[in-house]
Homo-oligomer: A and B are copies of this chain.
Amino acid sequence: MPDLDELKSIVGEDFLLTDPDRMESYRLDWSKGAGAGMPLAVARPGTVTEVQGVVRWASEHRIAIVPRGAGSGLSGGSLAVDGAITLSLDRMRSVSIDPATRVAVVEPGALNAEVKRAAREHQLHYPPDPSSYEICSIGGNLATNAGGLCCVKYGVTTDYVLGLDVVLADGTLVRLGGQTIKDVAGLSLLKLFVGSEGTLGIIVGATLRLIPAPAPAATLVASFPTVQAAANAVVSLGSRLRPSLVEFMDNYAINAVEDFREMGLDRSAGALLVVQCDSPGDARAAEMLVVEQICTTAGASEVFSTTDPDEGEMFLAARRAALPALERKGSMLLEDVGVPVPRLPALLDRIGAISAEHGLPIPVVAHAGDGNTHPNVIYDPAQPGALERAERAFAEVMQAAIELGGTITGEHGVGRLKKSALADQLGPEVTALTRRIKSALDPDGLLNPGAIL
């Protein structure tokens, strides 16, 4: 057992936790922690220099490091590993806005919502918006290349990263990119670290691009008799215009939300779409007419639209409540598969068949506009064999996405929960290439071992 006093002197006694009780809240994440280990210690550095110190110490002692943001990850990317240091970035959370350059300079522990709020004070906007934006950290967003609801028009995290400070496996600090919008000097190393889930380096700072605040969105809610009718509407929408949000909930999810908190949703609907358009001026109204027409043509039984932002936010609140609402229905395995948009109807078909085959509900909520779905396998842990059946269904949903030319994860990351399926998607050549990059940057395999690979 290595001497932790040195580590204590790096981050300060108060910020090196070794007591199991105090470490407990740093062991798990929102994936519910299947297989979380017991860390040697939890280090909570307050500066980049301290992060470098911790990493150098770990490198010298050949001890692994699990970097950790707010712990809201859904793929187990920050689950503690036995005998490793959990390096929590929760104390490093400064945010400063440069309105002239239109960038936010952030530390990784800052919450996504804090960045958005700081930008808003300057009439600027940071688009990426995971459903968990109130509680997830920007460092975690960068580590997973997080998406959200607005991606369909505004893109994902990587599209907003101009600069990145990264501590490498040996403690070296590299500063990649900067504040310049167009920069092709050298390899795109910056983009390689975004989405690398802490396996190549530890992100300790970022410069994020901000945009002028978009016009307020109008919102439309449409009820469809079947999942297929709603999916067909989504495909048509994408070929005609660029809505700023296209969210989907199926009948099971609608009812779970209504059970959780009465919101006046149509419990009899096969599926529901929430669509927003935020084009400026009169274009928004013209687009909303097209959206309404597409939904009606696809067979919507009821269409309601509003330009009132609060009313629109209410429908979004229903969509955002889906995850906690579904969690009350039993234990749950949360999926994140995506397909090219025209194959969304086929994917939903396959999910329906898998659900029927295993006798387990698999309600689907989706960022439908870019084909990113969250099917959730619900099971009763008290029932013998239920977990095994749920795990088989979970694996089959990923397999279906791969067969439809899609992905096992659209925005949550591979983490520890999906790594067994990754090779099926990537194939042996890309897996080998991934290992070569990993070995080049982390030859001793000390950075977040067990994640991705």
Contact = CB atoms under 8 A, between A and B. Distances in A.
Q: Which of A100, A196, A370 has the most CB of B within 10 A?
A: A100
Nearest to A341: B101
A102 to B, nearest CB: 7
Given A279-B281, A430-B174, A407 B183 contact: yes
Contacts of A440: 436-437, 439-440
Interface stretch (A26-34, A154-162, A387-395): A154-162
Contact of A100 (B342, B406, B426, B441): B342
A373 to B, nearest CB: 10
Interface string A212-241: 100000000000000000000001001111
Interface stretch (A16-24, A89-97, A251-259, A408-416): A408-416
Contacts of A211: 242
Nearest to A285: B281
Interface stretch (A5-13, A57-65, A186-194, A304-312): A186-194
Contact of A409 (B185, B371, B372, B429): B185
B430 A178 contact: no
Interface stretch (A110-118, A144-152, A314-322): A144-152
Nearest to A183: B407
Nearest to A148: B182
A420 interface: no
Interface string A435-447: 0111111000000
B183 A338 contact: yes
Contacts of A152: 181
B176 A430 contact: yes
A173 interface: yes
A185 B408 contact: yes
A34 B288 CA distance: 56
A347 to B, nearest CB: 11
Given A411-B182, A441-B436, A429 B172 contact: yes
Interface string A400-429: 000001111111111000100010011101
Contacts of A367: 182
Contacts of A101: 340-342
Interface string A276-289: 00011111001100
Interface in A118-151: 144-145, 147, 151
A261 to B, nearest CB: 28
A427 B175 contact: yes
A427 B145 CA distance: 26
A100 B231 CA distance: 13
B196 A187 contact: yes
A155 B436 CA distance: 30
A194 B188 contact: yes
B339 A180 contact: yes
Given A191-B158, A242-B212, A405 B178 contact: yes
26 contacts: A99-B239, A103-B340, A145-B188, A152-B181, A174-B433, A180-B405, A180-B407, A183-B338, A183-B410, A184-B414, A185-B407, A185-B409, A185-B422, A186-B422, A186-B425, A187-B196, A187-B199, A187-B434, A188-B196, A189-B433, A212-B239, A280-B283, A281-B281, A281-B282, A281-B286, A439-B440
